[in-house]
Structure 1
């Protein structure tokens, strides 16, 4: 093993130690599903020396930050929740945003995370200090923390994607991204331009269309939209889930295996998606009678290549007399209008950006600095990659939750999050038992894993479906977002932390204390 106390050259950007710096063994960044799951499982394992740093003033992550009208989940509530914290009181099959946010707040309180949460702590930079075997963190307000373990629960869909449209910054009206919805701005009677037709837009467009005077929906590529099998959860069902918890477990299990079958079309046999496409075409034909509008809304790629969306009211909203779907393409923006490539001019009072997130570029430069002063973005110059989506070579003791190639096109991300959390817990357990201060995945292990991932992805619908999507890294053309298989395969791959896959350094006699014995609940 390498000697942790051997002399090393520290990076110039190393955050210096100050006498009043805070310290913890484990620093968790973010308090969405990922950060809370990590914290709860640590508590259940008997580990108390951890802090959860949150930039905002409350927990919730994406379900706190996204609060646009109509915001809801597109995975059934009974599956889109922690396996260890079932909620028998979901009001709908697909929960709306306020209900999911309340669920996360309740989970944090129920499992006793209050004393571990640090609100108003936005991470500015985390630097690996090789001489001490710790991460040194600096927050946006100057506060500093040192921690042996750094767990990122920041997620991949947190940085809004702002389109590069000439003149957008000169618009004299109101402009905002769907994630920063302006509830204080009255839309009634306004001429509204919505740019983008992704997962957010199909939810908020039906909500605002009846309010506005005019809504121009600027569409670059139409999405495939399926009916959403949503409904109220009856009072009888909620009573049954409370009185007989195993019934909710059965519903969850049924949903899980039903959604797993989608992998057959997405990954194993993409030609099967043609049958699903016919269902989407029938939905479009039923909802949109006008052949000209229907032609605009019909994609020219195989369903599944881009994210499949679900809605029962999106198409109906586009048939309203005050709504126009614009496909000409935006040339530039003027102070009071959007100018099309054909020279036509469309006045607007407000521009709403439904343009999604920077999924393949989730971090700004300078936030995470690893061994030898290397920025994680330099390690990802050819596209983000990690071992099991969790560890990155050259960044010791850094664990990513929802890292590269852990995204899903068919099921619940909470399942993937819990799988990664269990992997991290096993890593910490083995590090304690073997008195290891730090681990760093071997480059050959990471490279071999990602070669296998990319080989599988080359034959999926996301590569063969004839589209360009946000799943793909624009620099390398690689799919750095999605997991190419069943979620149970990921669960199995992350079941045990293999110490042999990692370089490791022995525990120091001084410094951050080793972890206490972990309870068997961590392996449940």
Structure 2
């Protein structure tokens, strides 16, 4: 609030929240912290679970960890000098999230068990009506931060026969810690980022592990060193030293963009590192061939691990590259007719990322429905706002995915931008702050034009793309460019409507 008193608005008199934050993970907590730091306290965090943490609360599978250095996978405004390793495990990351909530006094703002099932904009009042499962009526808020994240929902894949399987099924994002793998025959479907962390752990426990691979990925080394106690002490006493270390990690990762975002000579260097790792760790030529990608490095997510290749070569582990035809009562049947019996199938098949449609129903001005507008691919202005949906802001929205740097760098920039926008709405008592359609269209045309030159659009299939090849996920540039475009809130990019203004205006055309 910068020392000034915010004038009382209609929302105070009508018992309407200033801000509703949907989601209690990294993004929701980051937004809540920045709101409090700007003197905005009238907000609630609606979390469908019974505890905070989001993705890191839900992903507790064996070996779960981040593949971005901890010093960089944290907020600059909430540094943690006590990270135990270069790359921290899920428990430590969740502990960091919980410590932020406690340090900044966020617990009173949480509404646990609040599964938001839809939001609709009341244009006459400039208010969002929020529907919560099992609750009569709606919660009303002047502004909404949709912080549910892209990795919030997970389900079993639509493989034929999956409902007929009589063994135990586990999804990596919904791990069953009560199941004992000792002496069991285990099948793992998937070889992505979660799978390469899970498989080494299962090989240590199970009698046998069969890994079903559709496409091999580029695997790069991950050197995970324990943090020296003297380093922790230095960072506690001299915060500037930790800030400098974080900056060094940031620029090191920025340089990686030249090899993985675009197809350049440095892309060959990345591939050489991956092939060297493969040759060093896998001695069998046929297995090496099965594990060699046929696409450019960066086209799919890079896999950071030193344990995956050795695990595949253990006596009790076998790589299966035949396509899965169906799941039978007793296991998995592959295309050549072999049935692989399994006591348990682990589906490390990722998340239901919303590249089309929306995670919840969202109704905006003039009866617009965002899921219909996003049916062919999601889009937004600077990933944060969508024309026709005033006072609504996204974290980790369309085209804000990094292929080379920390997601939290991007998220922090989004949070600071949307908090400035919310502060403007409240301080000026605006009814609507609605991004202009022409600015949004111009921005997204430029994004899609730049994406054509990236490795993500170079021909491989990945979760970054829709079925027809539209990239609604990734940002085609450096993190410094993305952060730079969000440093200032330019009101010329928006329709600014004061609370007392007439509702008469031209209708907004929906996207066809």
Length-normalised TM-score, structure 2 = 0.92
Contact 2:355–2:473 under 8 Å retained in 1 = no
1:177 aligns with 2:171: yes
Deviates more, 1:371-380 or 1:36-45: 371-380
**Residues 188-213 of structure 1, C-alpha deviations (whole Å, 9 max, x = no match):** 11111110110000001100112111
Please report how far the alpha carbon of residue 432 of structure 1 lies from its aligned counterpart in structure 2 after TM superposition: 3.7
Contact 1:156–1:362 under 8 Å retained in 2 = no
1:470 aligns with 2:463: yes
Which residue number in structure 2 is paired with residue 94 of structure 1?
Answer: 87
Which residue number in structure 2 is paired with residue 14 of structure 1?
Answer: none
Please report how far the alpha carbon of residue 161 of structure 1 lies from its aligned counterpart in structure 2 after TM superposition: 5.0
**Residues 148-184 of structure 1, C-alpha deviations (whole Å, 9 max, x = no match):** 1010111111122532211011111111210001111
Aligned residue pairs total 487
Which residue number in structure 2 is paired with residue 521 of structure 1?
Answer: none
CA distance 1:161–1:265, shift in 2 (3 Å) = farther
Which residue number in structure 1 is paired with residue 508 of structure 2?
Answer: none
Contact 1:360–1:470 under 8 Å retained in 2 = no
Contact 1:471–1:481 under 8 Å retained in 2 = yes
Deviates more, 1:435-444 or 1:323-332: 435-444
Which residue number in structure 1 is paired with residue 75 of structure 2?
Answer: 82
Please report how far the alpha carbon of residue 434 of structure 1 lies from its aligned counterpart in structure 2 after TM superposition: 3.9
**Residues 382-432 of structure 1, C-alpha deviations (whole Å, 9 max, x = no match):** 200000000012211110000001111111111111101111122123334
Which residue number in structure 2 is paired with residue 283 of structure 1?
Answer: 277
Contact 1:158–1:362 under 8 Å retained in 2 = no
Which residue number in structure 2 is paired with residue 504 of structure 1?
Answer: 496
Pairing 1:10-89 to 2, within 5 Å after superposition: 23-89=16-82
Aligned with residue 119 of structure 1, among 112, 116, 133: 112
Pairing 1:354-503 to 2, within 5 Å after superposition: 354-361=348-355, 367-464=361-458, 466-475=459-468, 477-503=469-495
Report the secondary structure of 2:385's partner residue: coil
d(CA) in 2 for partners of 1:256, 1:72: 19
Deviates more, 1:310-319 or 1:352-361: 352-361
Report the secondary structure of 2:230's partner residue: helix
Report the secondary structure of 1:251's partner residue: helix
Aligned with residue 318 of structure 2, among 320, 324, 334: 324
d(CA) in 2 for partners of 1:293, 1:268: 29
Which residue number in structure 2 is paired with residue 106 of structure 1?
Answer: 99
**Residues 262-283 of structure 1, C-alpha deviations (whole Å, 9 max, x = no match):** 1222335534211110111010
d(CA) in 1 for partners of 2:283, 2:359: 48
**Residues 221-270 of structure 1, C-alpha deviations (whole Å, 9 max, x = no match):** 00110010211001111111112222111111100111111122233553
Which residue number in structure 2 is paired with residue 240 of structure 1?
Answer: 234
**Residues 301-342 of structure 1, C-alpha deviations (whole Å, 9 max, x = no match):** 111110001101000000011111111111111111211111
Contact 1:270–1:460 under 8 Å retained in 2 = no
**Residues 331-387 of structure 1, C-alpha deviations (whole Å, 9 max, x = no match):** 111111211111111111111110111224486675222223332211112200000
Gaps of 5+ in 2: 1-13, 502-512
RMSD: 1.6
d(CA) in 1 for partners of 2:455, 2:155: 24
Please report how far the alpha carbon of residue 485 of structure 1 lies from its aligned counterpart in structure 2 after TM superposition: 0.8
Which residue number in structure 2 is paired with residue 516 of structure 1?
Answer: none
Contact 2:387–2:434 under 8 Å retained in 1 = yes
Report the secondary structure of 1:261's partner residue: helix
If asked which structure has higher relative contact order (CA below 8 Å, sep 6+), I would say 1
d(CA) in 2 for partners of 1:383, 1:107: 34
Runs of 4+ deviating beyond 6 Å: none
Please report how far the alpha carbon of residue 127 of structure 1 lies from its aligned counterpart in structure 2 after TM superposition: 1.1
Report the secondary structure of 2:376's partner residue: coil
Length-normalised TM-score, structure 1 = 0.90
CA distance 1:389–1:306, shift in 2 (3 Å) = same
Contact 2:21–2:28 under 8 Å retained in 1 = yes
